[in-house]
Chain A
């Protein structure tokens, strides 16, 4: 199982969720990904997509500098 970090801070286009989807296509089932995002919308739209597709949310937190750290696992 591998882990990867996707730094999507400051990304308006394609944006954090598109970066996450692109990267998850390169991952194997069981791999985890940590998305760094400065877009507050990511805290909502990433879980929405993860749930809809059937992957797994690991956790979400915001650090002192305002960056969201969203961890997900590829489940299928």
Chain B
């Protein structure tokens, strides 16, 4: 079986490594082959940008050579796919090379698009790329007081980042002795401070305790940079001195261009992770690329990838998949510089977050280093 993995992020890498470990014998004897195509030779641990924005990590700590993470036997090419020909079971890359397959796994991820909101890109900071996270740190370091507004676009990657960045900035400002000169103003698209009801029930009193103001049902419509003001779809207007954005996201352009999914999100079966539609039988979709109504987060990609790899291995060895994806997501929630909690949930079970502790924060900091074992399919 020729297995083609498109995308070298968390989903694609964890899938490929898990599968390679399970079908080692079949790969050795030529009965199965895994090829990965990526747009980059680097693999980035994206959750780490939060720490760069706070001056607690540097960008190079979060990057590894993709090839170095892959199991021996996985063929890797830095050659982004430009054309998907799903009816003919092949793709065409930027180089012009054509790759045929029996099974394709699409895990191309998502991208922040602050330019979707007029005025947002030029007037705000965010921590979704290396450059943006460094710029974030510079502007936060230079901040001398005033109102820091947090504004959230939809949809976005990493559902915990609005809370995490707010708590982290609070501690950063506090440590610099600027708390009495600073007002935090947090806004959120729905009628509570987080999408997860139980997380919102925990976070709102934390905001109250820290003196962080908040406004809900606030969806940014445009940013008036001249007057330093954010206008909302709901008719609101909030002034800022420093604007921190969680920009709206889209899937990758190549997905849209090939007609695989509106805004780059591919319609996906929530249990089998197959692409919906007539050509979806040998197409699996992982991570942010799906249109599933679950978190666009590394842990989602991780658990989906493990399920998909186990199923593909079972199909190769026994002719049938063995499990369904149950919607499992596990997200750490950094509640400042030295405390954290977590939210674990699936399609049927809501999360029950506990009070944040130093121990969970220590575990999160450890996991930031252990991630590379996860990418390798070991953890």
CB < 8 Å neighbour of B159 from A13, A19, A22, A26: A13
User: Which A residue sits closest to B194, measured CB to CB?
Assistant: A13
B190 with A10: CB separation less than 8 A = no
Known: A11-B294, A22-B155, A53-B233. A48 touches B195 (CB 8 A): no
C-alpha spacing A14/B219, complex, angstroms:
14
Instruction: Give per-residue flags for A13-56: 1 if the beta carbon is below 8 A from chain B beta carbons, else 0.
Output: 11111110110011000000000000001000100110011000
Question: Which A residues touch B196, using CB under 8 A?
Answer: 12-13, 15
B159 with A49: CB separation less than 8 A = no
Known: A21-B154, A25-B154, A45-B190. A14 touches B234 (CB 8 A): no
The answer, yes or no, to whether B263 is at the interface (CB within 8 Å) is: yes
CB < 8 Å neighbour of A13 from B234, B248, B262, B345: B345
B348 with A18: CB separation less than 8 A = no
Question: Which B residues touch A22, using CB under 8 A?
Answer: 154-155
C-alpha spacing A16/B294, complex, angstroms:
10
A13 with B195: CB separation less than 8 A = yes
Interface residues of B in 345-361 (CB under 8 A from A): 345, 347-348, 350-351
Interface residues of B in 305-350 (CB under 8 A from A): 327, 329, 343, 345, 347-348, 350
C-alpha spacing A75/B59, complex, angstroms:
44
A13 with B190: CB separation less than 8 A = no
CB < 8 Å neighbour of A48 from B191, B293, B351: B191
The answer, yes or no, to whether A57 is at the interface (CB within 8 Å) is: no
The interface of chain A, by Cβ under 8 A from chain B, is 6-19, 21-22, 25-26, 41, 45, 48-49, 52-53
Question: Which B residues touch A16, using CB under 8 A?
Answer: 293
CB < 8 Å neighbour of B263 from A18, A21, A26, A49: A26
CB < 8 Å neighbour of B217 from A6, A10, A26, A48: A48
What is the interface residue range for chain B against chain A?
A: 20 to 34
Instruction: Give per-residue flags for B242-275: 1 if the beta carbon is below 8 A from chain A beta carbons, else 0.
Output: 0000001000000000000011000000100000
Interface hub of A16, A17, A18 (most chain B Cβ within 10 A)? A18
User: Which A residue sits closest to B197, measured CB to CB?
Assistant: A41
10 contacts between A and B (CB under 8 A): A9-B347, A10-B270, A12-B197, A12-B351, A13-B345, A17-B189, A18-B154, A26-B263, A45-B191, A49-B217
B262 with A15: CB separation less than 8 A = no
Other than the given A18-B190, A52-B235, 19 more pairs (CB < 8 A) read: A6-B293, A9-B293, A10-B348, A11-B293, A11-B294, A13-B159, A13-B329, A13-B345, A14-B195, A14-B293, A17-B190, A17-B191, A18-B154, A18-B155, A18-B195, A25-B154, A26-B262, A45-B190, A49-B190
